[in-house]
Structure 1
Amino acid sequence: MRPKKMKDEIKRSFFTYAIVVVTVIFFVYLLLLSIVFRLTIIEPNEANHEHVLKDIETGFAAYYSGMDDLISASTIHSFLETGEQAGDAYKILYDFRNHQSFHADFLLLDGDEEVVATSFYSGSDVEARSSVALNALTYKLEGAGVVGTRLTSPLRDVHHRSSYVFSAAIQGEEGLLGYLFYFLDSPSFPDQHYVYVTDLFDNVIFSTYSYGLTTLGKLDLDLKGNWITYEGEMFYKTQTTLSKQGIQVITATPMSIYRLLVLYGVLTMLISSIAILLVVWFVAPKIVAKSLQPFDGLVALMASKKKYSHFDHEPNYEEVEIIYEEYRSRVSEVERLLDENQIIMEKKRISELKHLEAKFNPHFLFNVLEMIKYELMEDPQSASDMIVKTATLMRYNANFGQTLVPLEEDIRYLNDYFSLQKMRYGKRLHYEIIVNPLSILEEAFIPKLLIQPLIENAIKHNIHKTHSLFIQVVIKTDGNELTIEIRDNGRGLDEKKVAEIKAIYLGEKEASEQTGLHTVHQLIQLLYGEDYGLMMRSHVEDGTIMTLTLPLQKG
Structure 2
Amino acid sequence: MAENSSNFKESIRLLFLRYTFMPIIVLFVFFLLFTGFNAKIIVANKSQEANKVISASLSGVYFNYYDEINRMAALPLVSDFAATRLESQNVYEEFYEFNTHQTVKSVFYIIDTKGIYLASTAPSDSDIQETIYRTIVPRIAKAPESTLVEANKIRYSHDRYTVYTFGKAIIKDNQVIGYILYQLYEEDFQKLIFVQNNEISVITDRHHTIIATTNNITKGLMNKFAPIFNSKGNVQLNGGSYYMSQASIPLTEINVFTLNSSQLQRYVYVSLIVFIVVTSLLLWFLIQFLANKMSTRNTQSIDKLLFAVNQLQQGNTLSYVDIHTGDEFETLADQYNIMLTRLNELLHKNEELSNLRRLIEVKHLQSQFHPHFIFNVLETLRYAIVVDSKQAQDIVMILSRLLRYSISNDGQTVLLSDDLNHTTDYLRLQQIRFNERLSYDMQLSEQSRHALVPKLLLQAIIENSIRYGYLHQESLLISIRGYLDETDLILEVEDDGSGMSEERLEQIRQLLNDPDIPTKHIGLSNVHRRLLLLYGPGYGIQLLSRLGEGTCVTIRLPYEKGDVHV
After TM superposition, the score normalised by the length of structure 2 is 0.50
Aligned-partner Cα distance in 1 for 2:535–2:262: 63
Find 1:363's aligned residue among 353, 366, 372. Answer: 372
Q: What does residue range 521-540 of structure 1 map to in structure 2 within 5 Å?
A: 521-539=528-546
Find 2:39's aligned residue among 29, 34, 37. Answer: 29
Is the counterpart of residue 390 in structure 1 residue 355 in structure 2? no
Aligned-partner Cα distance in 1 for 2:447–2:58: 70
Q: Match for 2:432: what amino acid?
A: M
Q: What does residue range 83-98 of structure 1 map to in structure 2 within 5 Å?
A: none
Q: From the superposition, tell whether residues 278 and 315 of structure 1 become closer, same or farther in structure 2 (CA, over 3 Å).
A: farther
Q: Match for 1:366: what amino acid?
A: F
Find 2:441's aligned residue among 429, 432, 447. Answer: 432
Cα drift, residue 454 of structure 1? 0.7
Q: Deviations over 1:132-152 (max 9, x none)?
A: xxxxxxxx9xx99xx9997xx
Which residue number corresponds to residue 481 of structure 2?
Answer: 474
Q: What does residue range 255-404 of structure 1 map to in structure 2 within 5 Å?
A: 266-272=265-271, 305=313, 318-394=327-403, 396-398=405-407, 402-404=411-413
Q: Deviations over 1:89-116 (max 9, x none)?
A: xxxxxxxxxxxxxxxxxxxxxxxxxxxx
SS of match in other structure, 1:471:
strand
Cα drift, residue 426 of structure 1? 0.6
Q: From the superposition, tell whether residues 502 and 280 of structure 1 become closer, same or farther in structure 2 (CA, over 3 Å).
A: farther
Find 1:504's aligned residue among 504, 511, 522. Answer: 511
Aligned-partner Cα distance in 2 for 1:389–1:458: 21
Greater alpha carbon shift after TM alignment, 19-28 vs 494-503: 19-28
Is the counterpart of residue 417 in structure 1 residue 426 in structure 2? yes
Residues 490 and 544, structure 1, Cα contact 8 Å, conserved in 2: yes
Q: From the superposition, tell whether residues 342 and 400 of structure 1 become closer, same or farther in structure 2 (CA, over 3 Å).
A: farther
Q: Match for 2:45: what amino acid?
A: I
Cα drift, residue 341 of structure 1? 0.5
Q: Deviations over 1:279-304 (max 9, x none)?
A: 999999x99xx899999998999699
Aligned-partner Cα distance in 1 for 2:477–2:27: 64
Residues 447 and 483, structure 2, Cα contact 8 Å, conserved in 1: no
Q: From the superposition, tell whether residues 405 and 523 of structure 1 become closer, same or farther in structure 2 (CA, over 3 Å).
A: same
Q: Deviations over 1:195-219 (max 9, x none)?
A: 9889989xxxxxxxxxxxxxxxxxx
Q: Which runs of 5+ in 1 are unaligned?
A: 1-6, 55-139, 151-163, 165-194, 202-219, 238-260
Q: Which has the higher contact order (CA 8 A, sep 6+)?
A: 2
Residues 432 and 471, structure 1, Cα contact 8 Å, conserved in 2: yes
Aligned-partner Cα distance in 2 for 1:271–1:394: 79
Cα drift, residue 344 of structure 1? 0.8
SS of match in other structure, 1:446:
strand
Cα drift, residue 226 of structure 1? 6.8
Residues 500 and 546, structure 2, Cα contact 8 Å, conserved in 1: yes
Aligned-partner Cα distance in 2 for 1:277–1:306: 50
Find 1:485's aligned residue among 471, 492, 500. Answer: 492
Q: Match for 1:537: what amino acid?
A: L
Aligned-partner Cα distance in 1 for 2:354–2:419: 19
Q: From the superposition, tell whether residues 545 and 14 of structure 1 become closer, same or farther in structure 2 (CA, over 3 Å).
A: farther
Percentage identity across aligned positions? 23
SS of match in other structure, 1:223:
helix
Q: What does residue range 134-283 of structure 1 map to in structure 2 within 5 Å?
A: 222-225=187-190, 227=192, 266-272=265-271
Q: From the superposition, tell whether residues 461 and 347 of structure 1 become closer, same or farther in structure 2 (CA, over 3 Å).
A: same
State the structure with more CA Rg: 1
Which residue number corresponds to residue 454 of structure 1?
Answer: 461
* Count of residues in Structure 1 that have an aligned counterpart in Structure 2: 379
Residues 491 and 543, structure 1, Cα contact 8 Å, conserved in 2: yes
Q: Match for 1:448: what amino acid?
A: K
Q: From the superposition, tell whether residues 498 and 236 of structure 1 become closer, same or farther in structure 2 (CA, over 3 Å).
A: closer
Residues 22 and 273, structure 1, Cα contact 8 Å, conserved in 2: yes
Aligned-partner Cα distance in 2 for 1:335–1:468: 50
Find 2:522's aligned residue among 515, 525, 533. Answer: 515
Q: Which runs of 5+ in 2 are unaligned?
A: 1-15, 64-86, 108-184, 202-259
Aligned-partner Cα distance in 2 for 1:421–1:390: 11
Aligned-partner Cα distance in 1 for 2:354–2:510: 24
